[in-house]
Structure 1
Amino acid sequence: MTLQKRIWDLIVLAIFVFATTFAMAPWFAFRALKAAAQYEDVQAIGELVDFPAVRRGLTGQLVVDAPANKPEPPSIWRDPLGVFKKAIEPIAPPEPKVDRYLTVAGVSALTRGYAPGAAPPAASGDGSLGSQITNAVKGPYPGIVYWDPNRVRIAVRRPGRDGKITVFTFERRALFTWKLVHIRLPSDERRG
């Protein structure tokens, strides 16, 4: 082989490695999020999740009182007692339903395909290679349902219930840096 042929082969190999790494970076980000949640690494979760964006997305899915469904506020001319009742009722915000999804345990359950609080304990094993392979083979297997250079959606099916799918949306922030920006819950877990 000539030197030019070897250099050309190295360039082609470098392009192939770059393209493969670029395409697989969101998958690695999801695996890193799952591992960080499993091992309760709060700093790593903070680096992998855009919490304000995820909170907005989950709030939109979980809030029962959508603005279009709210009744008109009482008028003093039509309903004077309703106005006084509204004026003296306590001004306490409703219990945030989103918080249970954004805890370490909630993120861990979601990455495994379960709702927060409904996940069985994670199989810890003894840390050997055999137990790690057994846990990996057991599933669930996340799959990429949408991929483009700036946004990727990864779906996780709930074990034993294929109809329940949680979709994680990752957005590219740098060449190989991806952040979680949205979680779409299964349809029966939304609005309440």
Structure 2
Amino acid sequence: MTLQKRIWDLIVLAIFVFAAAFVSAPWFAFRALKSAAQYEDVQAIGELVDFPAVRRGLTAQLVVDAPAAKPENPSIWRDPLGVFKKAVEPIAPPEPRVDRYLTVSGFNALTRGYAPNVAPAEPSSSDAIKQALKGPHPTIAYWDPNRVRIAVKRPEARGKLTVFTFERRALFTWKLVHIRLPANERQG
């Protein structure tokens, strides 16, 4: 074999390796997020997730529909007790529903296919192997060079999907930018 033929073979091999690495990079980003959540690696989760974008997306999904017409504020002339009651009632905002999704345990549950605070405990090492073989396994729902969606099915209800959207930030760097919850968990 000539030197020119060997160099050409190396160039073709390098192109195939580059293409395979480029195509599989989002899958490795999802696996890294799942592993970081499982082992409670906060720094790795911070590097893999664009928190402002994910928070905006989840907030839009979890907003409770506003009533069609807000009741009129009480008037001191018509309802003096109502005014007093409104003045002394606490002004504390409702608990943000998004926060439970953006915790380490929330990411751990979501990447396994469960809702936060509903996921069962991590299986033991022997059960983990059986569960990994049984599935459900994450699948690529959409792929393009700059955006990938990975769908995770619920183990107890295969029709419910949680979809993770990753966006390319550099040649091989992908960040989680959106989480779409199953339809029955969304309010808005």
- Global fold match (TM > 0.5): yes
How far apart are residue 76 of structure 1 and its match? 8.2
- Distance, in Å, in 1 between the alignment partners of 2:124 and 2:11 is 43
Q: Does 1:188 align with 2:184?
A: yes
In the TM superposition, what whole-angstrom CA distance separates every residue of 1:87-131 from its partner, at most 9, and x where no partner exists?
6243221111111111111100000000011111112417xxxx7
Point out where structure 1 has 5 or more consecutive residues left out of the alignment.
none
How far apart are residue 85 of structure 1 and its match? 6.8
Residue number in structure 2 paired with 1:155: 151
Instruction: Provide TM-score, normalisation by structure 1.
Output: 0.86
How far apart are residue 57 of structure 1 and its match? 0.6
- Structure 1 residues 12, 121: closer, same or farther in 2, change over 3 A? same
The secondary structure found in structure 2 opposite 1:162 is coil
How far apart are residue 139 of structure 1 and its match? 2.2
Amino acid at match of 2:69: P
Alignment of 1:91-130 (within 5 A): 91-125=91-125
- Distance, in Å, in 1 between the alignment partners of 2:106 and 2:9 is 47
Q: Does 1:5 align with 2:10?
A: no
Residue number in structure 1 paired with 2:23: 23
Q: Is the CA contact (8 Å cut-off) linking 1:146 and 1:154 kept in structure 2?
A: yes
Task: Please identify, of 1-10 and 136-145, the stretch whose mean Cα deviation from structure 2 is larger.
Answer: 136-145
Q: Is the CA contact (8 Å cut-off) linking 1:74 and 1:80 kept in structure 2?
A: no
Q: Does 1:71 align with 2:73?
A: no
How far apart are residue 80 of structure 1 and its match? 6.2
Residue number in structure 2 paired with 1:175: 171
- Distance, in Å, in 1 between the alignment partners of 2:17 and 2:133 is 26
Amino acid at match of 2:133: V
% same residue:
73
Q: Is the CA contact (8 Å cut-off) linking 1:144 and 1:154 kept in structure 2?
A: yes
The secondary structure found in structure 2 opposite 1:47 is helix
The secondary structure found in structure 2 opposite 1:171 is strand
Tell me the number of residue pairs that the alignment of Structure 1 and Structure 2 aligns: 185
Residue number in structure 2 paired with 1:58: 58
- Structure 1 residues 81, 18: closer, same or farther in 2, change over 3 A? farther
How far apart are residue 140 of structure 1 and its match? 2.4
Residue number in structure 2 paired with 1:137: 133
The secondary structure found in structure 2 opposite 1:156 is strand
Q: Is the CA contact (8 Å cut-off) linking 1:61 and 1:191 kept in structure 2?
A: yes
Point out where structure 2 has 5 or more consecutive residues left out of the alignment.
none
- Distance, in Å, in 2 between the alignment partners of 1:36 and 1:23 is 22
- Structure 1 residues 135, 185: closer, same or farther in 2, change over 3 A? same
Give me the CA root mean square deviation.
2.5
